[in-house]
Structure 1
Amino acid sequence: MSSLSRQQRRAAQKAAAKGRPVASASMSAPSADASIATLFDKAVAAHHAGRLDEAEAAYREIAARQPDHTDALSNLGVLLKATGRLDEAIATYERALAIRPAPMVLNNLSCALMEAGRAVEAVEAVTRAVAGKPDYAEGHYNLGNALRQAGRFDEAKAAYLKAVSLKADFAAPWSNLGDMLKGRNQFTEAVECFVNAIRRQPGLVEAYNNLAETLKDQGRHREARQILEKGLELAPGHAVMRSNYAFCLCYMADIPPEQILREHEAWGRIVAAPLARGSRPFANRPEPQRRLRIGYVSPDFNGHSVSHFFEGVLRQHDRAAVEVFCYSNGQVVDETTERLRRLADHWRVIRKVPDETVARMIEADGIDILVDLAGHTANHRLTVFARRPAPVQATWIGYPNTTGMAAMDYRIVDAVTDPPGSANALCTEKLWRLPDTFLCYRPQPGTPEVAPLPAAVGAPFTFGSFNNLAKVTDHVIATWSEILRRVPGARLLLKAKQFLDGGTRDRVVAAFAAQGIEAGRLVLLGATASPRDHLALYGQVDLALDPFPYNGTTTTCEALWMGVPTVTLLGRTHVARVGATLNLACGLGHLVAPDLAAYVETAVAQAADTAGLAALRARLREQVAASPLCDAPRFTRNLEFAYRGMWQAWCASGQVAATRPAAEAVPA
């Protein structure tokens, strides 16, 4: 038996902390050897205490001396699974089951099979468990988990509800059911599930986090903020919840930018700083003009919006100047993923790989500049950056605010989103401003042709926004309602996945009704079958309205490409100035309003000038295509110039080692 690494030991301890119990001695036939019973008790005690090498050795000794000791085999399987040795865990569970098909062991086997991605087998195993013990609440819960992983969602829901019917205070099934429903855009029912989970287990931190995210998705930011604050009282160091709290504040117009900065800094201080490796030299050769190794880290190397702004750069990188490594943390693999993989010089899959292992991988790759493309969005790996595996680290395009961490050296922006002087005090990184704009949009292949202006062919004048509903705050609804009051007969088309949920639709209709806008003037559409269908809907929109303070990015670019200009409000911070940089890059400065009154007046004036809108619509795609926003070669040279400047600054810093540290020397 080999000893456990620190990583494996911590994984097992974390698993125990989440309430994955070690089995008690209840399944095996009594042993004739009292010494084995004593050894088993010592093994269980060592297991609970986190002395995993000692526990593993004892379980293995018991199994060797008494091969039918299913408790020892089951507990050994638990330990092996918790330390990432899934194949061994599965084999050990199967060995125990060959002796006695106990429901608990079948349940544990199903968990290991799920973690190994073998959902069908997991369903079979846990189905046997509940067949043998119909009142086994934990078994029905894991049956729900396995069915969910297998894509059998209605059956998964039934299994979760069966679990809570058997055990009234069982919170986890409610929480997981809520998470499943949220993923299926059933937001109202998901909220009820999370509330049920918290009522049964007030300390279930994940339920607070997921409830807040669901409320945010519905545009209920104040409620989301309150829930996150309660969750953080329970778990101040919860990394994901702290990210989500900082992110949530970005949507709220009444939160001062300085307070939002403080919350990002709190994430850096509480989560990132303890992971820092301290000041140390790097072995990267400090040659200012040599070819650079650039590493990009993202969970969104797929059909996600980030890829619309990354692919052009990846295609245009000067391979004589840079060598490109992509570190993919994505859960979704699709055609875009495969296209990006072929374009990269090196592709690394880091999903489920521990942070310290990823940090060693990056250092072994000799990355000179490591670039984050996610910020505090879902599935980020900022905790890898906290370990500083590369001498220069920067964040770009994935998040509209600071990371708040000392280990991030630069944030790549432009002079519109982050004006010199005032913006510097609102982030922890040094701001590197690109010329033109910090974005480079690559339209999707096969987009529909631009349709005629709807108002010019007899349709009611239609304002539109295809932004995530989380950006449509009460303040935005009040402003858009004022525009509709000023343009009699006009309607507003909103498209967001949240409108697939009836409760969410009703809430939005009621919010507009409170502003005097009847439901008949609203067109609320959910998700479409394909990206092409999504873009084709712009054929029903005359003029787009940008939400605030959180502007659109991809939505604005898509609207422009489909001939639909967007009126935007110039705010104080980056998140509220993205619309301005997009419009200015495309020669549409007249659609950038300096204040709220001007925003309303601009929208009303544009609606009155259908001839002007029709003329702009006819030329807009060509105008955008010729703009800096879509000039990938020009943009990529600007970005590479920035990288070269960052690198030269590091070369002049003197942080250089004589030799590269061995991978084993990287602290966990």
Structure 2
Amino acid sequence: MATIQDVLTAALAHHQAGRLNEAAAGYRAVLDAVPNHADAAHLLGVAHLQAGQPAEAERWIRAAIQSNRRAPDYHDNLGSALKAQGRLDEAVTAHRQAIRLRPDFAQALYNLGNALDALGRREEAVTAYRQAAARRPGYAKARFNLGNALTALGRRDEADQAFRAAIADDPSFVEAHANRGSLLLSLGKAVESNAASARALALRPDHPTALTNRAAAFLAAGDAAAADGAARRAARACPDLADARLRLGEALHRANRLAEAGDAYSIALALAPDLAEALANLAVVRQTQGLLDDAERGDRRALILRPDLAEVRSNLAYLQLFQPGVTLAGVLAAHRAWDDAHGAPLRAGWPKPTGKRKTPANGAEPPLTVGILSGDFRRHPAGQFAIRAVEALPAHGIRLFLYANQTEADDLTARFRAVAERWTPVAALSDAELAERIRADRPDVLIDLAGHNARGRPGVFARKPAPIQVAWSGYMATTGMAAMDGLIADRHHVPDGAEVHYRERVLRMPDAFIAYDPPDGAPDVTPPPCLSGAPVTFGYFNILTKLNPEVLRAWAAILAQLPDSRLLMKTKALSCPITAALWRDRLTKAGIDVNRVTMIGASTNLEHMGWCASVDVALDPFPFSGSTTTLETLWMGVPVVTLPGETFSSRHSLAFLEVAGVEGCVATDEAAYVDLAVGWATDPTRLAALRNSLRARMAAGPLCDGDRLAGSLAEALKKLAS
């Protein structure tokens, strides 16, 4: 007659062979004979977990724990059952209990890391994975997941070390090779990425991630044929062909191959018409190409499929700023629509107001703690607009907590970090997690440098993590959000009477609302090219999204009055030959001879400024004016002819020209715009005089005075918070 131990041993044999039903039957037989048999209850729970029945697994594992609370394995597997049910906080507690019972329990540490990572608590997950790997030599899975968590945190060099360690533990770990390939691609190491992906493909020739990585690496190396071949193999290998095309489109988009990216997204949609992400991405391509109507249609279709896509609704609101005839009332309505859909549902969770800041007994004014959230603490327009004032804020009684929604770093990043009392990378955190993090830091004021732009986090501000929230510099309109208390502006951007069209309280700075930080090493100012006998050259340096038939009509009139003149168009999207051809066709239809037009694509920033110096007069688009491009062009001594409207985004060049003291550039209508451009182009003496004086005036004036702006900004923020 078989003993209980014999039955348990037979059940274990079935379990180890993968025969879960037979194993479960054996464990039940043991429990029928000995109801409190802890090991049988635990193993029955494990069998249910492996069979995809986590709730039943939890029931039996808890029964085992009732019989024996000191078994670490029981608590660890309970954590796995809870995680499988989405009960992550409980899973963390169970895994921690297993570790308390056995501090060197590597598997429990690994499982703890997985639960913490799923909660978005990645710093804690990193610690758990490191401890798991330290306690079990050769634990490749722990090192692999460590690499994934570090990648999500933006700690890419450490992530590469973790992936390499995982591969050293297990050279056949195909996912480690593939993920390392993705990481190296994000670091701009195309050759190394290609090699890592090749190793993954040697192990699994149909691995879609490795194939897609190779396509992107070939693109970065300029090998279009090899990229196309790899992308096609990825599409064949991936069961979800639409997803493979979606990822290929993203790779092509990063390489400025806009038309090909659009084709990839279109194929994805042909394969999966309800793929909202492909619609949204295609809309961004069309927007970048300057096809506004196509972009808007794509965004609206994506929102029909996925009304929860807040980024798409942000983009839809942003698109309104470019439309001819745009009004302040229309801009406010478009942005309030975002808040109605995505902000309003979060208002019930706003913390209750805590009252005014307390003044110490000695009467001294306490420092104001100001948090700034941005993905652009770097060489980006928002960073260049803010850095000088931010560097000066501490001298005006401001403590700075900077929340960096980015993984890149450059010289400007170092300057922001140097002035921050607290620097927190947040790119890996969800909106809810980031809002909780900010709320725990308790800043008096939280500033947004992105709004509805790329890398913006309106979903964080909609949760109201700070008592006072203010928009500044990175977005050129109202945010439309009830959660935003203030908007930093100036009298040029928001003249008296326009406040009614802003959801926020308008805080006007005395000069411009930004302080420009020109790049080190900018080319020296040179005489106007036309002085050397060359034809007069007009320049356009803004994105194609800002162009429309009204702008092209004005350009055609200008060029018609000066038959020998030329036009230089320089913007990143023109790196795509098909996009450039599209715009040559549009110019021709507008009556502009394309033989008089030179098109230039992407370049370095300093090369870009050299191109600015190569024109005599710059032409500003309307109704969305230039901002950084205007400042760069003025820094090179070149006048910018502008036609402002009523919206914030139409008045950048007006503001900068006024503050810099440049006269004769601001038009009141399209005819005046044409006359001003022709007037400048036919007056080389005035052009030369402006070049000789403008840079020095800008450098010495309020347009570049960060301390002056910081003083006004600090005063406005303190008043708002009092």
Q: Distance in 1 between matches of 2:227 and 2:92?
A: 34
Cα separation, 1, equivalents of 2:199 and 2:699? 59
Is residue 292 from structure 1 mapped to residue 380 from structure 2 by the alignment?
no
Which is worse superposed, 558-567 or 113-122? 113-122
1:493–1:523 Cα contact (<8 Å) kept: yes
Structure 2 counterpart of 1:372, from 429, 448, 451: 448
Query: Following the alignment from structure 1 to structure 2, what is the Cα–Cα distance between the partners of residues 30 and 75?
Result: 25
Residue in 1 that maps onto 2:630: 556
Q: Distance in 1 between matches of 2:518 and 2:537?
A: 24
Match of 1:597 among 665, 671, 678: 671
Counterparts of 1:76-95 in structure 2, within 5 Å, are 82-83=118-119, 85=125, 88=129, 91=139, 93=141
Which residue number in structure 1 is paired with residue 410 of structure 2?
A: 334
Q: Hey, what does 2:613 align to over in structure 1?
A: 539
CA contact (8 A) 1:169 1:200 kept: no
Identify the match of residue 435 of structure 1 among 498, 507, 510.
Answer: 510
Shift of 1:624: 2.1
Change (3 A) 1:43 1:575: same
TM-superposed CA distance for 1:413, in Å, is 0.8
Rounded Cα–Cα distance in structure 2 between residues aligned with 1:490 and 1:518: 11
Q: After TM superposition, give the deviation of residue 596 of structure 1 in Å.
A: 1.3
Q: Which residue of 2 aligns with 1:246?
A: 317
Q: Distance in 2 between matches of 1:76 and 1:346?
A: 28
Q: Which residue of 2 aligns with 1:65?
A: none
Asked whether the 8 Å contact 1:441–1:629 carries over to 2, the reply is yes
Deviations 1:47-76 (A, max 9, x none): 77645679999999xxxxxxxxxxx99999
Taking the aligned partners of 1:147 and 1:348, their CA distance within structure 2 comes to 34
> Using the alignment, how far apart are the partners of 2:475 and 2:17 within structure 1?
54
Deviations 1:608-643 (A, max 9, x none): 212222222221212222332122222222212211
Residue 383 of structure 1: aligned partner? 459
Q: Find the aligned partners of 1:524 and 1:115 in 2 and give their Cα distance.
A: 34
C-alpha distance in 2 between matches for 1:28 and 1:238: 46
- 1:179 and 2:250 correspond: yes
- Tell me if 1:498 matches 2:588: no
Deviation by residue 1:101-153 (Cα, 9 ceiling, x = unmatched) = 999x844885599689999999888766654554x4xx224542487589966
- Verify: 1:462 aligned to 2:534, yes or no: no
Which one-letter code corresponds to 2:535 in the other structure?
P
- Which of 169-178 and 106-115 deviates more? 106-115
Map of 2:212 onto structure 1: 144
Query: Corresponding residue for 1:308?
Result: 384
Cα distance in 2 between the residues matched to 1:30 and 1:159:
40
- Verify: 1:626 aligned to 2:626, yes or no: no
> What's the CA shift for 1:420?
1.7
SS in structure 1 at match of 2:446: strand
Partner of 2:719: 645
Match of 2:352? 280
Paired with 1:278 and 1:74, the residues of 2 have a C-alpha distance of: 35
2:51 corresponds to 1:41: yes
Counterpart AA for 2:407 = Q
Query: Which residue pairs with 1:609 in the alignment?
Result: 683
Q: CA deviation at 1:258?
A: 2.6
Shift in alpha-carbon separation, 1:151–1:54, aligned structure 2, 3 A: farther
For 2:342 and 2:115, how far apart are their aligned partners in 1?
Answer: 27
Asked if 2 retains the 8 angstrom alpha-carbon contact of 1:464 and 1:544, the reply is yes
* 1:273 alignment partner AA: A
Residue identity opposite 1:464 in structure 2: G
2:447 alignment partner, SS class: strand
1:594-616 per-residue CA deviation (whole Å, 9 max, x = no partner) reads 11111111111221212222222
Secondary structure in 2 matching 1:160: helix
Structure 1 residues without counterparts, runs of 5 or longer: 1-25, 61-71, 649-668
8 Å CA contact retained: 1:140, 1:159: no
Structure with bigger helix share is 2
Distance in 2 between the 1:452 and 1:381 partners? 44
Counterpart in the other structure of 1:412: 488
Structure 2 distance, partners of 1:43, 1:75, is: 18
Deviation, structure 1 residue 457: 1.0
State the match for 2:104 in structure 1: none
How far is 1:571 from its partner?
A: 0.6
**After superposition, where does 1:260-275 map in structure 2 within 5 Å?**
260-275=331-346
* Matched residue, 1:395: 471
Could you tell me whether the CA contact under 8 Å between 1:174 and 1:197 is conserved in 2?
A: yes
Decide whether aligned partners of structure 1 residues 604 and 140 sit closer, same or farther in structure 2, where only a CA change above 3 A counts.
Answer: same
- CA distance in 2 between partners of 1:80 and 1:294 (Å): 29
Residue 31 of structure 2 corresponds to none
Q: What code does the residue aligned with 2:674 have?
A: V
**Change over 3 Å in CA distance of 1:477–1:331 after alignment to 2:** farther
Contact 1:483 1:603 (8 Å CA) reproduced: yes
Q: Provide Cα deviations, 1:235-277, integer angstroms capped at 9, x if missing partner.
A: 1121111111111121111444433322211211211222332
The structure with the larger Rg is 2
Paired with 1:352 and 1:452, the residues of 2 have a C-alpha distance of 48
Q: 2:367, 2:383 → 1: CA distance?
A: 25
CA contact (8 A) 1:107 1:125 kept: no
Q: Which moved more, 1:587-596 or 1:220-229?
A: 587-596
Cα displacement string for residues 632-664 of structure 1 (whole angstroms, at most 9, x for unaligned residues): 22222221221122122xxxxxxxxxxxxxxxx
SS in 2 for 1:520: helix
Q: Amino acid of the residue matched to residue 281 of structure 1?
A: P
The residue identity in structure 1 corresponding to 2:435 is A
Q: CA deviation at 1:160?
A: 3.1
Structure 1 residues 367, 624: CA separation in 2 closer, same or farther (over 3 Å shift)? same
Contact 1:500/1:526 (<8 A) preserved? yes
- What amino acid sits opposite 1:555 in the alignment? T
Cα distance in structure 1, aligned partners of 2:663 and 2:472: 24
Q: Which has the higher contact order (CA 8 A, sep 6+)?
A: 1
Cα 1:202–1:58 shift into 2, 3 Å = farther
Q: 1:332 to 1:594 in 2, by over 3 A?
A: same
CA distance in 1, matches of 2:442, 2:691: 48
Matches of residues 105-144 of structure 1 in structure 2 within 5 Å? 106-107=174-175, 110=178, 130-131=201-202, 133-134=204-205, 136=206, 139-144=207-212
For the residues of structure 2 that align with 1:418 and 1:504, how far apart are their CA atoms? Answer: 35
**Structure 2 residue aligned with 1:66:** none
- Of stretches 123-132 and 172-181 in structure 1, the one that deviates more from structure 2 is 123-132
Mapped contact 1:39–1:58 kept (Cα < 8 A): no
Cα distance change, pair 568–109 in 1 and its aligned pair in 2 (3 A): same
Cα deviation 1:181-234 (Å, max 9, x = unaligned): 111110010110111111111222211111111111111111000000000111
TM-score, normalised by the number of residues in structure 1 = 0.82
Aligned-partner residue type, residue 640 of structure 1: A
Matched, 1:445 2:520: yes
**Alignment partner, residue 236 of structure 1:** 307
Partner Cα distance (2:718, 2:456) in 1: 25
Give percent identity, aligned residues only. Answer: 36
TM-score of the superposition, structure 2-length normalised?
0.76
Q: How far did residue 504 of structure 1 move?
A: 0.8
Q: Separation in 1 of the partners of 2:180 and 2:345?
A: 31
Residue identity matched to 1:535? M
Distance 1:132 1:516, change over 3 A: same
The yes-or-no answer on 1:215 pairing with 2:286 is yes
State the alpha-carbon separation in 2 of the partners of residues 344 and 77 from structure 1.
30
SS for the counterpart of 2:429 is coil
Number of equivalenced pairs: 606
Deviation, 1:412, is 0.9
Q: Which whole-Å CA distance do the structure 1 matches of 2:220 and 2:607 have between them? A: 27
User: Letter of the aligned partner of 2:212 in structure 1?
Assistant: G
**Structure 1 residue 364: deviation in Å?**
3.3
